[in-house]
Structures are given as C-alpha cells and as structure tokens.
Amino acid sequence: MTKDFMTPQGRRIAYHLSDGTGPAVVFLGGFKSDMGGTKAVFLEAWARKRRTAFLRFDYSGHGESGGEFTDGAIGDWYEDAKAAISLIAGPVILVGSSMGGWISLLIARAMPERVAGLVTIAAAPDFTEDSMWSNATEAQREALMTEGQIALPSDYGDPYIITRRLIEDGRGHLVLRDPLHLPFPVRFLQGTEDRDVDMSVALRLLDHAQGPDMRLTLVAGADHRFSDDTCLDLIAASIADVESRLRRG
C-alpha cells in the first residue's frame, strides 16, 4: 500500500516501506523513473523473502509523488531522498540506479554515519554537467539560457524536458570534482552496452572515490535498464555481499 509524507520543503513524497531487519535497503531510482519499475519491485520482493526492511519511493515530480517534473532539480531530489531515509531508524544500504547513484553518493558524502553500504547500478554522477551540458550544441545552450528549457530525445518515451535550473542546480551538487570518501562496502555495477552512461563513467567513479572495500563489476552486453534476470540477480547478490561484509565487521 502506497503511503506519503511531506518533506521539510513541503513536497509530497509517495513511498512503500516494508518492515524487517536491518540495515534497511533503500532503492533510489533514476531520472524520470518511478518506484514501480522492474528493479525496485524485484528488490522489494527479494527483501520481503529475506525479512529485510526495504524502502522505495518517488522523488517529487516523479511517479505518484506531488509536483511537476520540470520544477525539480538534483538538489530537490536529494532533499527528497534524505527525507525518505529519515523514515527509517538505523543504518541503511543504499541502492542507487543511474541518477539514483549520484543521489546516493551525495547522501553518503553528507551523512556517512547513516550509510552501512552502497550498491550502484549504472551510476550517473554529475550527468547534468558532464553529459547534458557538455554534449549540448551552442544553439541548445543558448536556448537553455534564454528560454529556460530544451527538449532532448529519449529512448524511453516522451522527450526529456531539460531546464536551465536543472543544469545550474546540478553544478552545486557535483561529486567527481572533490574528494569522495566511501568508508563502507561499495559495489558498482555497469553494463558494457549502456548507451546512456558510458563505461568510462564507472571507471572514473572507481578511480575517483576512496574507500577500503570498493569493487566494479562490468556485465557484458547489459544495457542501461540492467533489468533482465541475470542483472536483477546480480543486484541482489551485490546487496547480499555488502551485508556479509558488514557481518564480518
């Protein structure tokens, strides 16, 4: 059953929280995705079978949550994620997909005392700057600055509406320009056939971050969705691996 709450900023966030033991697993979805996606639903069922606490939610402007997508930006969705995590007592294992990988890194940097472990799936840190802005044509950049938004084609349905605020706000939340310490077990997952987030991003993240227990797994042939049976099982196995590392102390 879907529930909702209001963030300190006044945004209504829809969520599903399953009771169980901890650390709780928190799924953070991608750009314009929602908590009804294949990975989130699969992991919820997996967690229930293991009696592990699990949280999935929609950022504002996404899925069942309130607000308009075009009004949001990375900082807003990061605040939404922090507010959602506040529903849980104790440490959490973050599972961040695409943009959710970026947001999970922001959370890990801001509140490492809450994070017991991290699994990312095609993490897209700093994508507003390193992909959207860097790949924009001069005409697109001018339109962003003067008109406030542009439309970019998407492989997943309607075009993405990219706003000037999204780009400018993203610059205040970059994670690959400053030291990034991840003092807990980390598993980065990346498909070799991902057309949205290149393998070089995963390699850059692995090289940039610092931590005692970080691993990158490349999956031959996997695309950005990373949601076939093999990939889903790998995500679950990666979470279980993080849990086992925590038990070993």
Could you say which of 16, 194, 196, 238 is catalytic? 194
Question: Phi and psi at residue 151, in whole multiples of 5°?
Answer: -110, 130
- The span from the CA of 154 to the CA of 224, in Å, is 12
Known catalytic residue at 194: yes
* Mode of pairing for the β-strands spanning 149-152 and 115-121: unpaired
Known catalytic residue at 198: no
Could you say which of 60, 98, 104, 238 is catalytic? 98
- The span from the CA of 142 to the CA of 144, in Å, is 5
Could you say which of 97, 126, 224, 238 is catalytic? 224
Are 128 and 74 in contact by the 8 Å Cβ rule? The answer is yes
From residue 34, give the alpha-carbon distance in Å to each of 41, 54, 142, 196.
Answer: 10, 16, 31, 18
Known catalytic residue at 98: yes
Element (H, E) at 54: strand 52-57
Cite the active site residues.
98, 194, 224
